[in-house]
Amino acid sequence: AVWASAAAAQTDPLPSWSDGPTKQAIIGFVTDVTREGSPDFLPVAQRIATFDNDGTLWIEQPIYVQFAFALDRVRELAPQHPEWSRTQPFKDVLEGKMEALAGLGEHAAVEIVATTHAGMTPDQFLQIVKNWLATAEHPRFQRRYVELLYQPMLEVLSYMRANGFATYIVSGGGIEFMRAFAPEQYGIPPEQIVGSSIVTTFERRDGLPDLFRLPKVNFVDDGPGKPVGINQHIGLRPVAAFGNSDGDLEMLQWTTEAGKRRLGVVVRHTDAEREYAYDRDSKVGRLDKALDAAVLDRWAVVDMKHDWKVIFPFEKR
Amino acid sequence: AVWASAAAAQTDPLPSWSDGPTKQAIIGFVTDVTREGSPDFLPVAQRIATFDNDGTLWIEQPIYVQFAFALDRVRELAPQHPEWSRTQPFKDVLEGKMEALAGLGEHAAVEIVATTHAGMTPDQFLQIVKNWLATAEHPRFQRRYVELLYQPMLEVLSYMRANGFATYIVSGGGIEFMRAFAPEQYGIPPEQIVGSSIVTTFERRDGLPDLFRLPKVNFVDDGPGKPVGINQHIGLRPVAAFGNSDGDLEMLQWTTEAGKRRLGVVVRHTDAEREYAYDRDSKVGRLDKALDAAVLDRWAVVDMKHDWKVIFPFEKR
Ligand SMILES: [Ca+2]
Ligand SMILES: [Ca+2]
C-alpha cells in the first residue's frame, strides 16, 4: 500500500477517479497481486478480470443501446414487412409507443431482437451495427453511443492491462453486437468478448462457405449464465469482476468467494445530473440483490457522483 | 520465397520436417503474410491459426484418447454401479469386448462419455484427467499419451507463434478434457482451446458458488460445428487451418475459400511402421471427402512417412 501511494503520487493511473476507498480498493488489489513476493501474488496467466458492459463500461439508460438498435432496425425493415403495421410488438415500435415497449415482456423483446439480428452473415451484421453506431444518437445527450463510455472505467481497463491483466467483457448483450465496437473503443479484441448469442449455422450459399445467423437464442450470458460463459470461453475463474446490476451477482460471487485476495466492484448510478440515478427499482439495470451482497462480500461500490470526476470522455478538457 | 530459403538455411524452424512441398507450403505462407509490404501481409490481430487435435497434434489410434479415458473411468466407477454388469454399453466395457465397442453407435458412445464426464466441478474434472494422463499408457507404444504428440506439429506451433500467430486448438474432443494437458504440452492457454462441451450449471453447494458438469451435450465442435465454434470463441475467420479428417472439412473450406492467401494443411497418416496408416475406410479419423477437397482447394497434404523425420518427441536423439 505504501508503494501504491508512492506510485500514485507520481503518475496517477486513474486520474478521473476521486481519492477515496473505491479508488484505493482497485489500486490496492492490483498492487498486492502483482508485487513479486507478495502472499497474494498472481502469475500473469491468472490475472483475469471480467467487466460487464451495459451500465458498467457505457450508458444503458433510458434503454439498452442494443435495444435502441433493434428498434431502429424494425423501422428500417418495416417497408419489407407490411404486416408489422398490424402485428405486435412491431406495431407499437412503428407507432413510437415507447411506454408500451418499456413494459414489454421478455418474449416480445426476444422476438424483436431475433427478427432484427438474424438473416445475415456475422460479417454483414457487424457492418450493420457499425453503420448504425456511426450515426445513431442518444436521445438525451445528443451524442453517438460510443461517446458515452465511462472515462473512469476506460482508465481501469488500461491500468489493469498495463499490469498484466487480460480484460474480458462478460455481458448479457449480444456477443456479435459488441464485437462491432469493443475492439476499437475498449481495446478488447473479439476473442475476449463473452456475451449472449443466437444460433449460427454453417452453409454454402452461392458456392461460398459462410455462417448465417438464425432467429433462435443460443446462450443467455446473464446472471448464473455469466460464470458458465466465462468457464466456456476463458476456462479460468476471474480474480477481479466489475458489474452494475443483479445480472452480475453470480459472476461477482463466483469471482470473489474463493477464499483468496480478489476484487469485486459494483458501479452504482447515483448521478442524475451528469448521467442517471437508479438502482433497486429500475427496469433497466436493476441493482438490488447485488447491492446487499456487496456488503456481505466486501465488494467496492462506486458512487458515480462522488467517485468519478468526469463520467464521459468528452467532459475532459 | 528467397528470404524464406535464406532464413531456413540459417536456422531451420521446422527441423523434423523433410524438405519438400509440404514444408515449403507452410514456410512460404508464413513468410508471405508476415513480410511488411507484401500484398499478402496480415496484421498480427488477423494471424489466427486453428489446429485440430486428435490425429493432427497427437495420436488417435486405435481409439481416441478421450474414449480410452472414458473406458477407464467406467472400470473405476463400476463398484458404485453394480447395475452396469447387466446394462449395455457398460457391460461390454467391463468385459473388455473391444470389438463390440468399436462398432458402438453414437448414442452409446455419448452415454459412456456423459456418464463418466459429469457430476463434478470443472476443477475436479481437470484433476481427474490429469491424474489419468499421469499414468495411463498407450496399448501399443507403452508410453503415456502426452508422450505421443507429433514433434513436427509442435515445431509448427512454435514457429507460427514466433511469427505473431495465435494458435488455437479446434477439436471435436471435449474442451475441458483438453484443458488438462494442452496448456502444458502445446503452450496453448485454456482460452485458446475450442472444443465440444457438456452443459455446466452455476450452483451453490455447501455455501460456495461453483459450476457443475451435467450429463447433457451442450455443443458438438465437429464438422460444420467447427466454423461455428471458431466464430463463437474467436470472432474472426482463421487464415490457416490444420486438420486430418473429414471432421475438419468445413473448417478448412471456410478458412481457405476466402479469395486471399490462406493455408490449409491435411495430416495424412501413411506410416504403419512408426505410427498408423489409415484414411478413407477408418472408423477413427476417417479422411475421405477432405482428401478429395484438398486437391480442389490446394491444401498441403502431409505424407507422414516421407514428410516427417520423426513422429514423436522421444525419437529425437
Ligand atoms: Ca449491466
Ligand atoms: Ca482429428
Q: Which ipTM value was assigned to this complex?
A: 0.93
Q: How high is the pLDDT of residue A1?
A: 47
Taking the C-alpha atoms of residue B248 and residue B226, their distance in angstroms, rounded to an integer, is: 7
| A224/B contact by beta carbon, under 8 A | yes
To the nearest whole angstrom, how far is the Cα of A184 from the nearest Cα of chain B? 12
Residue A129 lies in a domain: no
For residue B123, the chain A residue with the least C-alpha distance is A236
Three-state SS for A81-112 is CHHHHHCCCHHHHHCCCHHHHHCCCHHHHHHH
Mean pLDDT in residue range A229-246:
98
Q: B240-243 and B208-219: which strand pairing?
A: unpaired
What percent of chain B is predicted at pLDDT more than 70?
95
A51 within 8 A of A178, measured Cβ to Cβ: no
Residue A52 lies in a domain: yes
CB count within 10 Å of CB B135 equals 8
Residue B163 lies in a domain: yes
Amino acid at A158: S
Same structural domain, B48 and B80: no
Q: How high is the pLDDT of residue A9?
A: 54
Q: How high is the pLDDT of residue A10?
A: 67
Which residues, chain by chain, have CB under 5 Å from ion ligand 2?
Answer: B 52, 54-55, 244-245
For residue B239, what are the contacts with CB-CB under 8 A and spacing of at least 6? B33, B42, B46, B47, B48, B49, B255, B260, B261, B262, B263
The domain total for chain B is 2
The domain boundary residue, chosen from B78, B107, B135: B135
Taking the C-alpha atoms of residue A139 and residue A231, their distance in angstroms, rounded to an integer, is: 37
Same structural domain, A290 and A154: yes
Q: What CATH number is given to the structural domain containing A282?
A: 3.40.50.1000
Same structural domain, B131 and B12: no
Taking the C-alpha atoms of residue A66 and residue A175, their distance in angstroms, rounded to an integer, is: 11
Residues of B in contact with A231 (CB under 8 A): 122, 200, 211
- For A267, the enclosing helix (H) or strand (E) is strand A263-270
Segment B256-314, tens digit of pLDDT: 998 899 999 999 999 999 999 999 999 899 999 999 999 999 999 999 999 999 999 99
- For B263, the enclosing helix (H) or strand (E) is strand B263-270
Same structural domain, B177 and B303: yes
Residue A129 in this model has a pLDDT that exceeds 90:
yes
Q: In angstroms, what is the span from residue A54 Cα to ligand 1's centroid?
A: 4
The three grid cell numbers given for residue A11, joined into one nine-digit string: 503518475
A246 within 8 A of A287, measured Cβ to Cβ: yes
Mean pLDDT in residue range B86-92:
91
B92 within 8 A of B100, measured Cβ to Cβ: yes
Range of the domain at B124: 65-135
Amino acid at A206: D
Q: How high is the pLDDT of residue B134?
A: 98
Same structural domain, B187 and B233: yes
Residues of B in contact with A257 (CB under 8 A): 208-209
Three-state SS for B145-213 is HHHCECHHHHHHHHHHHHCCCEEEEEEEEEHHHHCCCHHHHHCCCHHHEEEEEEEEEEEEECCEEEEEE
Taking the C-alpha atoms of residue A116 and residue A72, their distance in angstroms, rounded to an integer, is: 9
B153 within 8 A of B51, measured Cβ to Cβ: yes
| B247/A contact by beta carbon, under 8 A | no
How far apart, in Å, are the Cα atoms of A32 and each of A49, A168, A260, B55?
15, 21, 12, 44
Taking the CA of B246 as reference, the closest ligand is 2
Q: In angstroms, what is the span from residue A168 Cα to ligand 1's centroid?
A: 14
Same structural domain, A155 and A221: yes
Residue A136 lies in a domain: no
The domain boundary residue, chosen from B90, B108, B135: B135
Residue B304 lies in a domain: yes
What percent of chain B is predicted at pLDDT more than 90?
87
Residue A8 in this model has a pLDDT that exceeds 70:
no
Say whether A209 and B189 touch across the interface (CB within 8 A): no
Taking the C-alpha atoms of residue B273 and residue B306, their distance in angstroms, rounded to an integer, is: 12
Residue A250 in this model has a pLDDT that exceeds 80:
yes
Same structural domain, A225 and A274: yes
Segment A20-74, tens digit of pLDDT: 999 999 999 999 999 999 999 999 999 999 999 999 999 999 999 999 999 999 9
- For A48, the enclosing helix (H) or strand (E) is strand A48-51
Same structural domain, B206 and B194: yes
| A235/B contact by beta carbon, under 8 A | yes
Residue B1 in this model has a pLDDT that exceeds 50:
no
Q: How high is the pLDDT of residue A292?
A: 98
Same structural domain, A115 and A234: no
Residue B15 lies in a domain: yes
Residue B5 in this model has a pLDDT that exceeds 90:
no
Residue A102 lies in a domain: yes
How far apart, in Å, are the Cα atoms of B213 and each of A172, B21, B111, B118, B180?
22, 45, 14, 5, 15
| B164/A contact by beta carbon, under 8 A | no
Residue A2 in this model has a pLDDT that exceeds 70:
no
Of the listed ranges A47-51, A108-112, A255-259, B3-7, the least confidently predicted one is B3-7
Mutate to test the interface with A, among B191, B226, B262 (most CBs of A within 10 A): B191
| A268/B contact by beta carbon, under 8 A | no
Same structural domain, B76 and B171: no
Say whether A257 and B209 touch across the interface (CB within 8 A): yes
For residue A119, what are the contacts with CB-CB under 8 A and spacing of at least 6? A212, A213, A215
In this complex, which of A197, A234, A250 lies closest to B190 when CB atoms are compared?
Answer: A234
- For B278, the enclosing helix (H) or strand (E) is strand B277-278
Taking the C-alpha atoms of residue B123 and residue A135, their distance in angstroms, rounded to an integer, is: 46
Say whether B211 and A190 touch across the interface (CB within 8 A): no
Amino acid at A257: E
| A213/B contact by beta carbon, under 8 A | no
Residue B293 lies in a domain: yes
A256 within 8 A of A29, measured Cβ to Cβ: no
Same structural domain, B235 and B96: no
Mean pLDDT in residue range A169-194:
97
Residue A105 in this model has a pLDDT that exceeds 80:
no
| A210/B contact by beta carbon, under 8 A | yes
Amino acid at A227: P
To the nearest whole angstrom, how far is the Cα of A36 from the nearest Cα of chain B? 22
The domain boundary residue, chosen from B87, B106, B135: B135
Amino acid at B303: D
The pairs formed by A309-313 with CB atoms below 8 angstroms and a separation of 24 or more are: A309/A15, A309/A16, A309/A17, A309/A18, A309/A152, A310/A16, A310/A151, A310/A152, A311/A150, A311/A151, A311/A152, A311/A271, A311/A274, A311/A275, A312/A141, A312/A147, A312/A148, A312/A149, A312/A150, A312/A151, A313/A147, A313/A149, A313/A151, A313/A154
- C-alpha dihedral (A101, A103, A105, A111), degrees to nearest 10: 10
Segment A269-294, tens digit of pLDDT: 999 999 999 999 998 999 999 999 99
Taking the C-alpha atoms of residue B301 and residue A170, their distance in angstroms, rounded to an integer, is: 40
Nearest CA among B254, B238, B239, B237 for reference residue B290:
B254
Q: How high is the pLDDT of residue B6?
A: 53
Phi, psi of A38 (to 5 degrees): -65, 145
| A6/B contact by beta carbon, under 8 A | no
Segment B36-81, tens digit of pLDDT: 999 999 999 999 999 999 999 999 999 999 999 999 999 999 999 9
In this complex, which of A176, A208, A235 lies closest to B257 when CB atoms are compared?
Answer: A208
Phi, psi of B148 (to 5 degrees): -105, 40
The three grid cell numbers given for residue A46, joined into one nine-digit string: 491468472
Question: Positive or negative, the Cα torsion across A278, A283, A289, A290?
Answer: negative
Same structural domain, A99 and A149: no
